[in-house]
Amino acid sequence: MAKSTVPDPRATLRGGLPDRYLTPYDIAEMFEVPLETVYQWRRKRTGPPGFRIGKYIRYDPADVRAYVISRKDADTHAA
């Protein structure tokens, strides 16, 4: 069985900041949600903050990491 040449975005976040911005597809794969969910998060401003480069949406890995940490903290305080 051949290994995939596409890096796992979740491993990228665990292993350090990648040298590229993440796409909505990366975010969907990372959180194991449908792509439409990522777009809904953006419209509702509830998910990780993204930004526009021309017609494309990109996510800074540092912002995604901060979002995950904030969600973990929120869940810890809610319990």
Q: Give per-residue pLDDT as tens, 21-68.
A: 999 999 999 999 999 999 999 999 999 999 999 999 999 998 998 999
Q: Where are the beta strands (DSSP E) in the chain?
A: 51-53, 56-58
Say how far apart CA 27 and CA 1 lie, in whole Å: 26
According to DSSP, residue 33 is labeled -
Q: Cβ atoms within 10 A of the Cβ of 50, count?
A: 23
The answer to pTM > 0.85 is no
**Residue 14 corresponds to which tokens in the numbers above?**
């665990």
Q: Assess contact for 48 and 62: CB atoms under 8 A.
A: no
Strand partners, 56: 53
